[in-house]
Amino acid sequence: MHDAPAGHWVRPDGVEEDGPGLPRQPGSRSRRSPPLGGVGRAVAARLVVLVGAWALIFLGTEVIPGDFVTAALGQDYTEDLARRMREDLGLDRSVLERFAVWLFSVVTGDFGQSFTTRTDVWDVVAPRLRNTLLLAGMTLLWFPVAVAIGIAVFLAGRVVQRTFRVVTQGVMCTPEFMIAYVLIYLLAVELRLFPVTARVAPSQSMLDQVQVLILPSLCLGIAMIAYAGRLVLSLLTIEEGKDYFEFARLKGFSRSAIAVHYALPAIGPSVLNLFLIYCASLLTGVFVIEAVFGFPGLGDLTISSVVWRDMPVVQFCAVLITTTYVLLYSLADLVSARHADRLSL
């Protein structure tokens, strides 16, 4: 049996009947913003989701069998020592009790001490977070390039557009670390333009650190150019099919003039939405590239903390990333909801 075209329902007996077309974008993203006064409800809903996610993280990290005490004591393990250590670290209380305490500490911003270094979790995470933010920030500099490439390809004509679509499809099917290895091979090993690794130390000057990070950010940037450039091209192609575009054409405007003056402002909110969602995906997207270049960022810290079962650090990293993730997605939702409202006026 053939697949049902959108807008037709297939009844079990095979008879097709007309129906409303399926929505192009189901889920929260296409949902209209609630009427004025509903903002509070939207925020409350986000908060519920956030606390739910925190609870899942806490449960996930608490379910882990073979707790920290067993791992840390190793061969020195004795019942008495383990019990004393558990009491010391507060691990002997019930899960619910610990979650309540933990939730309170998350809200107040006090994340406790790392099990392994016995220093404040924030002190362990802060230098790594700074490194990761530097890399992510440098990667985001490629976003305007991606948008510009999308516009340029749109203006260049059909052959270029088709080629671009095929190439970007290929890039999107390529793992980011593959792009990284190819670039390392070409630019670092063969041409010797960049260092092979990205080891940075606080003692290095800012300029040195930035220089070291050009290649890693380029690896992430190429994937982004494929993704964002392609989306900008699609958005512009949709605008081209609209009446105002044809009207301006008939009035004698050139395609490039219409694209820059009319189509670009029209797709602005969508591009902003895309940017925010990209930022969210970059939070963990940088981890793989960090691993390839041996870069001491948040990803490296999280993985080693997972291996050592240093739960306060794991929980903090997970909470930090998840919270930022939800925040960015909420912002993206807000942008598209406002845009939808404006269109419906």
Restricted to residues 156-185, the positions that interact with another protein (CB under 8 A) are 169-170, 172-178, 181-182, 184-185
Q: Per rule CB under 8 A, is residue 41 in the interface with another protein?
A: no
Between 238 and 248, CB nearer to another protein = 238
Q: At a CB cut-off of 8 Å and minimum separation 6, what does 47 contact?
A: none
Between 152 and 291, CB nearer to another protein = 291
| 89-93 contacts at long range (C-beta below 8 A, 24 or more positions apart) | 89/115, 91/67
Restricted to residues 255-314, the positions that interact with another protein (CB under 8 A) are 277, 280-281, 283-285, 287-288, 291-292, 299, 302-303, 306-307, 309, 314
Residues 197-226 vs another protein: string with x where CB under 8 A? --------------------------x---
Instruction: Give the whole-angstrom CA distance, residue 2 versus residue 38.
Output: 43
Q: At a CB cut-off of 8 Å and minimum separation 6, what does 237 contact?
A: 154, 161
- DSSP structure class, residue 39: H
Written as one letter, the residue type at 85 is M
Q: At a CB cut-off of 8 Å and minimum separation 6, what does 118 contact?
A: none
Between 27 and 202, CB nearer to another protein = 27
Restricted to residues 11-40, the positions that interact with another protein (CB under 8 A) are 11-12, 19-20, 22-27
Between 10 and 331, CB nearer to another protein = 10
Among 7, 34, 38, 52, binds another protein (CB under 8 A): 52
Q: Per rule CB under 8 A, is residue 140 in the interface with another protein?
A: no
Q: Per rule CB under 8 A, is residue 326 in the interface with another protein?
A: yes
Among 103, 140, 196, 331, binds another protein (CB under 8 A): 196
Restricted to residues 73-102, the positions that interact with another protein (CB under 8 A) are none
For 173-184, letters b (16+ CB in 10 Å) and e give eeebeebbeebb
User: Which residue is listed with tokens 């305007």?
Assistant: 144
Beta bridge partners, 9, equal 17
Instruction: Give the whole-angstrom CA distance, residue 201 versus residue 117.
Output: 19
